[in-house]
Amino acid sequence: MPQDRSFKDLKVLPVKELVFYGVNNEESLNDVTDDIHHLCPKDFHQKLESKNKDIVVIDVRNAYESVIGRFSGQIKTGGAKLIDPMMRKSTDFPKWLEKDSTKEDLKNKEVLMYCTGGVRCEKASALLRREMGDSVKGIYQLQGGIEK
């Protein structure tokens, strides 16, 4: 490898998790993933474009990525309502989820979630299920994220 292509200050740090939400008792998140559904893109878009008022969409990407683009179905066809947590970093999600206004927005709804590659959705959906319990009708993720 040529000298100008090397990393001069490369640091590799061990981490306990890829997406850090700053939540204590991480083990309990592993116990709530049984009721979380992964949808292929076709099924995700069908739900996204549904006129059902009991469906909401959460963009789990950071605010910068959310501004760049989102699915057009919910905007053009009056489909599922977008709820944007406006996260700057992953640890903003649990704080947003704790708000009474957020809980009210999600109560008795089917929740669609998407992120870039699917990793953040795994963690966010488990946290959502743990915090909201049966007060949401269902939690659905775009399998593999928008990258797939």
Active-site residue flag, 40: no
Where do the structural domains in the chain lie, given as residue ranges? 22-142
Among 17-26, 61-70, 106-115, 118-127, name the one with the lowest average pLDDT.
17-26
pTM, two decimals, is 0.77
Q: Which of 29, 36, 97, 115 is catalytic?
A: 115
**Enclosing H/E stretch for 39:** strand 36-39
- Report the pLDDT value the prediction gives residue 78, as an integer from 0 to 100: 63
Contacts of 29 (CB under 8 A, 6+ apart): 23, 123, 126, 127, 130
Q: Is 80 exceeded by the pLDDT of residue 127?
A: yes
CATH superfamily, domain 22-142, is: Rhodanese-like domain (3.40.250.10)
